[in-house]
Amino acid sequence: MAEKIIVVADTITVGELAETLNLPVTNLIGELFKNGIVATINQRIDFETASIIVEELGLDVELERKAAATLSDRKVHELSDNAVARPPIVAVMGHVDHGKTSLLDAILKTKAVDGEAGGITQHISAYQTTRNNRVITLLDTPGHEAFAALRQHGATLTDVVVIVVAADDGVKPQTIEAIRFAKSANAKIVVAINKMDKEAANAQLVKTQLATEHGLNPEEWGGDTVMVEVSAKTGAGIDKLLDMVLLVADLEELKADIDTPAEGLVIESHMEVGRGSVVGLLVEQGMLRPGHFLVAGTAYGKVRTLLDFAGKTLKEAGPSTPVTITGLKELPQFGDTFTIVKSEKEARTAVAIARIENEKNAASTNVTGADMLKMMNQQHDTQDLNVIVKADVQGSLTSVIDSLRLIDTKGEIALRVIGSGVGHITENDVRLAADAKTIIYGFNVELPPAVKQLAARDKVQVRLYKVIYELLDNAKASMEAMLAPEVVETEIGALTIKGVFRTLKDEIIAGGEVTSGKVMPGLLTRVKRGDESLAEVEVTKVQRQQQEAKEVFEGEMCGLSLKTNRKLQLEEGDKLEFFTRELVKRTLA
């Protein structure tokens, strides 16, 4: 038996675990790497993984899971004396088909800010509504993974969790998961008992389940959990639900500083033609304004446009406000925290530090020419995605396998079902998957604790679903992730060399006239002499009239500093073609 018992939470960062175990963090990261986990000091691992690693290290220590935090243990930000009241941030969660989306739609249809629910931008997963002239921020959680990331990067961003439970169906697995997440985040819980318009509705049964099995006692029974009976279909109880959310939030005395640089969380990001990177943010503190230099993970840029959840232009956005911005030079990841810095130079420095600290991000953003060539050569190679399918009944098993085989990959990805069966996932399934690097899909089946621990140890991916379309979407996404990205080059401009001033081993200083488009630092350049392509170099500096310039346009003269990896002799009359090269993720569509 271990001499020492250490209590840890459901998840813990690598740095925190190393400190708890009194180990150098490099030792712990090395042990994780041996077990197939590439982790950074700030990356979180779950309790099962932490336990396995401690066992692998042979430490005379036993980990014990920390009990769920009580609602009174809520963490708060350190606020200044000038902090002001802010709107509550409410996450809405619930089991599939219990009406979470319908409830959100019902609230937003009649309560959306300025009455413009029809203008809601669907790309952002946070909205705002009003009740009695008070604003409430609603955070839609399409999956519990999203909420886990929210908790990981800023638990205090969620003040209240509304757990939606169908009155005709009762407590289900995702309901239980939602309760666990809410308690782990120290968030106040309000239960919305939905579908009260149904004949089979039984609110008392739901309350009994929550009270006896999960410790959520209704207020009318002497407990401290607010439970409201509602119907998303008829609108009954919606106003009362919002009133109760505000009442629960008021007990927290929610405040935030506004006279401070804005910071918060990335809740969504995607690319749009004509707009570039479009990023959804949730402001936690400070005031965000157009023109601010923003850093989020390894992405940075100047905020070009600032829109509210309904697509309206904002002059500024304060705490608890969901916004959409454009202007970042690349896409941040969901869960990245964002901060405001004073200048683009400071933003670049912050990103450089973040990339050094996050090796995975660094690898994905620094693509060499050799990497490009390798990807191009592999684009037409067929790859295998191995899967094992387990289902509750044979009919479901046949349907899942047949549907998986119908996914069209245009011959680039081959899906191979290397095992299947009816019943719960077993240790034999995990062992087979470990040998073949396979994904295990479970449809309406369970993953026993012992099998889950074995899967965590062997780094086997087990994915459980109760909706077949969600399973198929995941399989399709897994195949798309295997597709080699497309290498896309975009022409930016051209220049004719008028003079060469200095030629070194790895640098050339030259001057010329921009004949089309523009030139700016960081562009890749083809050197052409007639029809012959001599080399590929990079523009490191641009000068106009002996002053450094960010851009020089068609018809203007400029000086260039070109970085080259081999001896190259430029001549007057040579042509330079400027372009960018990027990897574009491909889809099966």
Give the mean pLDDT of the chain.
Answer: 80
Task: List, as own/partner pairs, every contact residues 196-200 make where C-beta atoms lie below 8 angstroms and the sequence separation is at least 24, other chains included.
Answer: 196/167, 196/229, 196/230, 196/231, 196/236, 196/237, 197/231, 197/233, 197/234, 197/236, 198/167, 198/168, 200/167, 200/168
Alpha helix positions (H), 35-166: 47-57, 100-111, 144-154
Q: Quick one: DSSP state of residue 239?
A: H
Q: Is 227 in contact with 191 (CB distance < 8 Å)?
A: yes
Token reading at 57: 């290290």
Q: How confident is the model at residue 498 (pLDDT cuts 50, 70, 90)?
A: very high
Query: What is the sign of the dihedral through the CA atoms of 515, 516, 520 and 523?
Result: negative
More confident residue, 64 or 180: 180
Could you give the dihedral angle defined by the CA atoms of residues 449, 451, 454 and 459, in that order, rounded to the nearest 10 degrees?
A: -100
Longest CA–CA separation in the chain, Å: 89
Instruction: Say how far apart CA 96 and CA 173 lie, in whole Å.
Output: 10
Mean pLDDT of the 505-528 span = 92
pLDDT (tens digit per residue) in 376-416? 344 445 577 889 999 877 667 767 887 787 776 666 777 88
The correct CATH number of 263-366 out of 3.10.310.10, 3.40.50.300, 2.40.30.10, 3.10.20.30 is: 2.40.30.10
| Domains of the chain, residue spans | 4-65, 73-256, 263-366, 383-482, 487-584
566-572-577 Cα angle (round to 5): 65
Share of the chain above pLDDT 70, in %: 81
Mean pLDDT of the 99-117 span = 63
pLDDT (tens digit per residue) in 20-74? 888 887 778 777 767 666 666 767 777 777 777 777 777 777 777 665 433 333 3
Instruction: Say how far apart CA 163 and CA 172 lie, in whole Å.
Output: 12
Note if the pTM is more than 0.85: no
User: According to the model, what pLDDT value does residue 318 have?
Assistant: 94
More confident residue, 396 or 469: 469
Q: Over 90: is that where the pLDDT of 573 sits?
A: yes
pLDDT (tens digit per residue) in 234-261? 989 999 999 999 999 998 888 999 999 9
More confident residue, 117 or 223: 223
Q: Over 60: is that where the pLDDT of 331 sits?
A: yes
Using CA atoms, how far residue 318 sits from 66, 92, 277, in Å, is 35, 22, 22
Token reading at 320: 């608890």
Q: Any bridge partners for residue 563, and if so which? A: 507, 538
Q: Is 175 in contact with 165 (CB distance < 8 Å)?
A: yes
User: According to the model, what pLDDT value does residue 172 have?
Assistant: 83
Class of domain 73-256: alpha beta
Which CATH number is associated with domain 383-482?
A: 3.40.50.10050
Q: Over 70: is that where the pLDDT of 187 sits?
A: yes
User: According to the model, what pLDDT value does residue 317 have?
Assistant: 94
User: According to the model, what pLDDT value does residue 117 have?
Assistant: 31
The correct CATH number of 487-584 out of 2.40.100.10, 2.40.30.10, 3.40.190.80, 3.10.150.10 is: 2.40.30.10
Q: How confident is the model at residue 464 (pLDDT cuts 50, 70, 90)?
A: very high
User: According to the model, what pLDDT value does residue 10 have?
Assistant: 64
Q: Over 50: is that where the pLDDT of 332 sits?
A: yes
Mean pLDDT lowest for which of 74-83, 92-101, 109-118, 348-357?
109-118
Instruction: Say how far apart CA 508 and CA 487 lie, in whole Å.
Output: 27
Q: How confident is the model at residue 157 (pLDDT cuts 50, 70, 90)?
A: low
User: According to the model, what pLDDT value does residue 156 have?
Assistant: 44
Q: Is 407 in contact with 377 (CB distance < 8 Å)?
A: no
Q: Over 60: is that where the pLDDT of 519 sits?
A: yes
Q: Over 60: is that where the pLDDT of 123 sits?
A: no
User: According to the model, what pLDDT value does residue 411 have?
Assistant: 62
Q: Over 80: is that where the pLDDT of 523 sits?
A: yes
User: According to the model, what pLDDT value does residue 70 have?
Assistant: 36
Q: How confident is the model at residue 1 (pLDDT cuts 50, 70, 90)?
A: very low
More confident residue, 54 or 151: 54
263-366 matches 487-584 in fold = yes
Q: How confident is the model at residue 265 (pLDDT cuts 50, 70, 90)?
A: confident
Q: How confident is the model at residue 88 (pLDDT cuts 50, 70, 90)?
A: very high
User: According to the model, what pLDDT value does residue 72 have?
Assistant: 34
Buried b (16+ CB within 10 A) or exposed e, 354-370: bbeebeebeeeeeeeee
Instruction: Say how far apart CA 65 and CA 57 lie, in whole Å.
Output: 19
User: According to the model, what pLDDT value does residue 92 have?
Assistant: 86
